[in-house]
Each structure stands twice: as structure tokens, then as C-alpha cells.
Structure 1
Amino acid sequence: MTNTFFKNIFSHRLSKHILYWVGLIIFFGITWGTYDNDYVRSFTIQTFGLPARMVLVYISIYMLIPKFLLKRKFISFIVSYLILLLVTSICIQRPIIYFYVEPIYFPSWNSEGYFTITELMNTILDVNIAAIIPLGFSFFKFYYNSQQRTLTLEKEKIETELIQLRNQVHPHFLFNTLNTLYALIIKKSNTAETAVLKLSKLMRYMLYEANTPKVSLVKEIEYLKNYIDLEKLRFEDSIDISFNSESDKDYQISPFLLIPFVENAFKHGTSSSKGSWIVINIFTKKRELILQVENSKFSDTNTDHDSVGGIGFNNVKKRLQLLYPDQYSLKIDDNELSYEVILKLNLTKNL
């Protein structure tokens, strides 16, 4: 019950403000009162200092901060605050001290004058000290909210870019698979029905199962297998395809992350003549995925491997960096006979 009482007090804005000003009076009243053990006088003087301090704090919080600081007009805020500090010190605090506090509570004090630089500076510092905590809190709140807005915008930007990058895979993939099916129909191949079934599984995965930020690695590998099976049907015996996968457990991975490298191998590793070969290995152990894709090269094929799966290596790397920052490595070995890509991916964040 006691905890609820104090919670209600501190949750109320007015109570917080009252507690702040009372706490300020008590703190400086005790601090200055220890010099002559006259705490009553010290508390009274601190109370007389409230008008100027409150004007400075509340105008700063409710006018200067929304008008300048929140709009990132930092220079305007600093200039306005200094002017306000000077005005409250000279026009509010200084008259109270000079005409009332000093004659009554310090009768033996010989003031050098109303506009004495030394006494004016002491007054300015005395007024400003009350604004340190409120302004410090406001600056922290502004910085925190600014950081949160930046993170939110960055997250939205990343999500938008990922959707765009992922959507670029679909048209190119559909174009390839339809070409595969068309080629089988032209040949009047008996495997056309199998190809349609494989294509339907691929489309079901793309439209329904992979419409999430993360998917099962097992399903992603099954998606690759179906794609490879379609390519096998298209090329029949003209290409030697080796596919191996092994995993110590099922992990979560971003969908369509591996297919561009496989598509790239079929695009650049096949030829009209026999002798084409593609090797695809996927191994996952202790949260690390290793994808190794290697294909043969021919002088009569397009060997511009800067384009991966039709979306470009730069986009593939960008997607990897957005999804797995500092969690991957991509190695490329391009020689006269073969082209090899090795992707290592840390799946720790995706458990």
C-alpha cells in the first residue's frame, strides 16, 4: 500500500514539479546553512530565489525547447536561452536580492552596485543552477526520442529494401521456370507433368510459406531441391549436377537468400555442348551455414558473374548486410575453368 501511494505521487506531473523545487530548496538551504548554522535564513533566501528560477525553467521547457530544440535549431535555442537567463537574472532575481534579501538578511553587506559584473555573474549562476537538471533531462529525452525515431526509420527503410530485394527474385525465377516448362512441352517430354508439380510446390512456398521474415532451413533447402529438380528435367543428361546438404539441426533463415547463387550457377555453368557440371553443397553445423556453389565455365557462355540470379551481386551483398550485418563472409574464386562461390553465414541471431 505504501509503494502504491508513492507511485501515485511520482506519477503525477504536478507532484514531480513540487518535489523538485522543494528538494532544490532543501539541498541548497542545507548546503549554505552549514556556513553559519542559520538554516532558517538559508531556506528563506532559497525560497526567494524561486521566481526567477521557475521562469527560466518553465519558459525553457515549454517554449524554447519545442520551438527550437525539437526542430533542431540548436544555435537559436542557445542564443534564446542565454537571453532569457540574462533577463530573468537582471529583471527578477537581481531586484529581489538587491532591494530585499541583502538589506534584511545581510545588513552588513556592502554591495558595489546593482550592475556590478561580479554580483551579476553570481546572480546568473545562481539562477542557472536550477535549470541544469530539467534541461539535462530534456536533452536526454530529446536525444533518446531522436535515436528511437532514427532506429524506427532505419528499420522501416531496411524492411522496405528487403522486400524490394526479395521481390526482385520472383520475376526472374518465374521466367526461368516457365522457360523450363515450355522447353519440356516442346520436346513432348513425359516429365512435363512432374515439372508442373515441382513448379506448383515452388509457387506454394513462394506465395504462402516464405511470406515471413524467417523460414525453416529445411524448407528452404527443399525449395532449392525442387528448383534443381526442375533444372535437371530441362537439361536432362547434358549437365552433371551434384547436390548435397547436411545439417546438425533445423535453423531459421531469411527466405530466398541462397537461391540467387544456385540460379547463377545454372545461368553461367551450362552450355549447349556436354561437359557442363554444377556442384552445390550446403552444410550447417554449430549455427554456421556454409554454402558452396561451383560451376563449369565455357567460352561460348555469358561469364559476367557480376549478375547473380538476375539481381546483381551488389544487391545480394546488400541483402546479406541488411539481414546479417557482420555475420557472414562471401568468397569468390573465378578462374578459366570454373567459378566458385562460398558463403559462410552465422545463424546465431536466428535461433
Structure 2
Amino acid sequence: MKRVLLHVLFWVAYTLQDALMEYTWTASQQPGFTENARFLMAIHAAVVATLPKLILTYYVLYAVIPQVLKGRNMVWIVVKTAIMLCITLVLYRLVFNYYIFTVIYNNTIKTAPLFKLSRLLLGVMDVGFVSATAVAFKLIRMQLSAKEREKDLMKEKLETELKYLRNQTNPHFLFNTLNNIYALARKKSDLTPEIVMKLSKLLRFMLYESGKGRITLAEEMKMMDDYLELEKIRYNNRLNIVFKKDIDNEQYPVSPLLLLPFVENAFKHGVSETRFDSYIHMEIRLHQGLLTFIIENNKENESPGSKDKIGLENVRRQLELMYKEHQLLVFNEPAVFKVVLTINLDSHAKI
């Protein structure tokens, strides 16, 4: 329906423009008619003159262009187009000589021989102009449609990749937490039921909230607090956690599961591999859309698995997809692991 409407608008606009030119050209040859009568005759003539132009125009639009795009034999395409142009010119001259000049203008305008060279060349210009204009519009529309399809495909690709990364993060988090529960279960700890309950709350969040495009910073921090409480139960007194917050707007939207992997990493490759007292110091600041998250933990000797290839690499890729303006700094020292993340939350990409 939209395409039909565009075609109708194009031909109405062209016919009105052609009628105006026809009115200007024939005004001096029809002194006995009023302006309104001359304009109505010009519109009548323009409409009739448009009919043979339709043949060539739609032949080019729906026969020539598809064949060219498919890479068909160009010589044969040119030959067929030339034949169609000749047929159109003959109809064009017949319409002018035996209808427009005789019926509409009642022989007030002097006719020329049917195949006079100057009139044929004028016909080529007239027919060629409208056909070329229509083709130009079609090519522009095809290019815009191709760009829109490319944009949709890119959006779909990014959404799929982001979903894949998040789906990797969720089982990874679950795997780490189940390890914690397993360790307590082996000790037959009375804290095991409480940890299972807290885990169920976190999983509920991941199932129903992490699928959203964005959540509030308050929701993200609540999940982090729940995770910290879960870990405190496991490590008890040998773990010192400091979490500083300086936030001017807790309702600021952020991508879900953005900060939790850093916290997981601090426990998995810091606290869990440290034999003595451990610490995790975190600080989160938000001022006018600029988020800064700093997390530092102590660790012992470097081990082959001390770099969390799944968690941190996933977050790094998610940041590349979601935020145009961000900086992720990782400091891996012999006894300290520190991450400094800075994000302009207003630079969130519309995927």
C-alpha cells in the first residue's frame, strides 16, 4: 500500500509539473481561451502524454533493473531497452499528433511530421527525463532499504552476541556459588540452607531481571549486596569487606550483571585462594552519569587459573557492545588484584 501511494504521488507531482510547462509553452498560441481553460487543457494534455511514458518507465523499473542486478547479459538488456524506447517514442508521437494537437487543442497548435528528427529528440528527452527520475528514486529507495536491512541485521547480531555473553555469565556465576555450597555441605554446616535461600533470590533476579535491556543502579547494587552476604556466610571472620558508595542518583539505568563478574572474580581468584585473612575493598561513585567502580583484593602466589578468562573477558566484550565511552583498567600485581572501571552511562548504545 505504501509503495502504491508513493507511485501515485510521484506521477501526480510529475503530471502537475508537466501541465505547468505545457501551459507556459502553449499560452501564446491560444489567445482566444481564458487562463482557466488553457490550464485545464494543459492538464488534459499532460495526463494523456504521460500514458506512453508509463510503459518505458515501468519496463525499466521492473524488467531492466532486476536483470542488471542479477548480472544478466548487458548487450541483450540494452537491445531490449532500445526496442522498448522506440515503441514508446512511436506511441508518444501518435498521442501528440492525433489526440493532443487535434482533440485537446482543436488544431490550434501546428503539428509536425510524425517522425521529424527534432520532435523525436524532444520526445527522447521528455520520456527519458521522467524514466531517469523514477529510476533514480527507486535506486535511492533500494539503497536506503539495504542500509535499513543491514542495520537490522547488525542489531540482531549484537543482541544475539550480548545474550550469548550474558548466558555464559549466569552459569558461570551459578557454578562458582554451587562450589561454595558444596564446600559447606561437606562440612555439614548449618549455614547451608541459608546460602541456598540467598542463592535462589539471586537466581530469581537473573531469570527475570537480567534479560532486560537495563535496570536501575539500585537493583544492580542490591544484587551485589546479596552476593556479598552470601559469601560472608561462607568465609566468616577471615574476610574483610569494605564497600563505599557515593551515588547522586540510584535510579540511573545500567546494563544488568555489569559489575557482579568483578566481584565474583575477586572471590574466586582472591579470597578462595588465600590461606590467611583476606580483604575486598570496593568503591562505587556516580556523579552526573559518570560511573566509577573500583574493586581491589589481596591474593597469594600467581597460579595458572588466576585470570578469570570467562568472567572478565565477557564483561570486557559486553562493555564494548553496550557503552561507547568506557575505560577498564586491570592491575595484576604479585599480591594485589585491582580493577578500575569508568563508564559514561549516557553513552549506552541503542541495540
Q: Name the TM-score, length of structure 1 as normaliser.
A: 0.76
Match of 2:307 among 301, 305, 308: 305
Q: Report deviation, 1:197.
A: 2.7
Q: Secondary structure at the match of 1:211?
A: coil
Q: Report deviation, 1:21.
A: 5.2
Q: 1:23 to 1:346 in 2, by over 3 A?
A: same
State how many pairs are aligned.
327
Q: Report deviation, 1:46.
A: 6.2
Q: 1:305 to 1:32 in 2, by over 3 A?
A: farther
Match of 2:298 in 1: 296
Match of 1:257 in 2: 258
Amino acid at match of 1:316: V
Amino acid at match of 1:322: L
Match of 2:284 in 1: 282
Q: Secondary structure at the match of 1:236?
A: helix
Match of 1:335 among 325, 333, 336: 333
Q: 1:184 to 1:19 in 2, by over 3 A?
A: same
Amino acid at match of 2:182: Y
Say whether residues 1:345 and 2:343 are aligned partners: yes
Q: 1:99 to 1:344 in 2, by over 3 A?
A: closer
Q: Report deviation, 1:346.
A: 2.0
CA distance in 2, matches of 1:181, 1:24: 80
Match of 2:220 in 1: 220
CA distance in 1, matches of 2:49, 2:75: 23
Match of 1:86 in 2: 82
Q: 1:86 to 1:273 in 2, by over 3 A?
A: same
Tell me which moved more, 124-133 or 172-181: 124-133
- Give per-residue Cα distances to partners, 1:181-232, cap 9 Å, x unaligned: 1222223334333322321221221223333222222121111112122222
Amino acid at match of 2:145: N
Q: 1:82 to 1:330 in 2, by over 3 A?
A: farther
Amino acid at match of 2:245: S
- Give per-residue Cα distances to partners, 1:286-314, cap 9 Å, x unaligned: 1121111222242253465361xx3451x
CA distance in 1, matches of 2:308, 2:342: 19
CA distance in 1, matches of 2:165, 2:75: 47
Match of 2:316 in 1: 317
Asked if 1 retains the 8 angstrom alpha-carbon contact of 2:247 and 2:286, the reply is yes
Q: Report deviation, 1:38.
A: 6.4
Amino acid at match of 2:289: R
Q: 1:19 to 1:239 in 2, by over 3 A?
A: same
Q: 1:59 to 1:233 in 2, by over 3 A?
A: same
CA distance in 1, matches of 2:26, 2:160: 62
- Unaligned 5+ runs, structure 2: 32-37, 102-106
Asked if 2 retains the 8 angstrom alpha-carbon contact of 1:238 and 1:273, the reply is no
CA distance in 1, matches of 2:83, 2:286: 70
Match of 1:144 in 2: 144
Amino acid at match of 1:26: A
Asked if 1 retains the 8 angstrom alpha-carbon contact of 2:15 and 2:46, the reply is no
Q: Report deviation, 1:50.
A: 3.5
Say whether residues 1:171 and 2:164 are aligned partners: no
Asked if 1 retains the 8 angstrom alpha-carbon contact of 2:297 and 2:336, the reply is yes
Q: Report deviation, 1:341.
A: 1.6
Q: Report deviation, 1:96.
A: 5.4
Q: Secondary structure at the match of 1:281?
A: strand
Alpha-carbon RMSD across the aligned residues, in angstroms, is 3.9
Q: 1:328 to 1:120 in 2, by over 3 A?
A: farther
Match of 1:266 in 2: 267
Q: Report deviation, 1:166.
A: 0.7
Tell me which moved more, 131-140 or 217-226: 131-140
Q: Report deviation, 1:154.
A: 2.0
CA distance in 2, matches of 1:27, 1:134: 19
Amino acid at match of 2:242: S
Q: Secondary structure at the match of 2:339?
A: strand
Q: Secondary structure at the match of 1:336?
A: coil
Tell me which moved more, 55-64 or 198-207: 55-64
Q: 1:223 to 1:32 in 2, by over 3 A?
A: same
- Unaligned 5+ runs, structure 1: 1-10
Q: Report deviation, 1:269.
A: 1.9
Q: Secondary structure at the match of 2:246?
A: strand
Q: 1:68 to 1:241 in 2, by over 3 A?
A: farther
Amino acid at match of 1:86: A
Q: Percent identity?
A: 29
CA distance in 2, matches of 1:335, 1:33: 89
Asked if 1 retains the 8 angstrom alpha-carbon contact of 2:49 and 2:95, the reply is no
Amino acid at match of 2:338: E
Q: 1:20 to 1:273 in 2, by over 3 A?
A: same
Q: Name the TM-score, length of structure 2 as normaliser.
A: 0.76
CA distance in 1, matches of 2:331, 2:263: 15
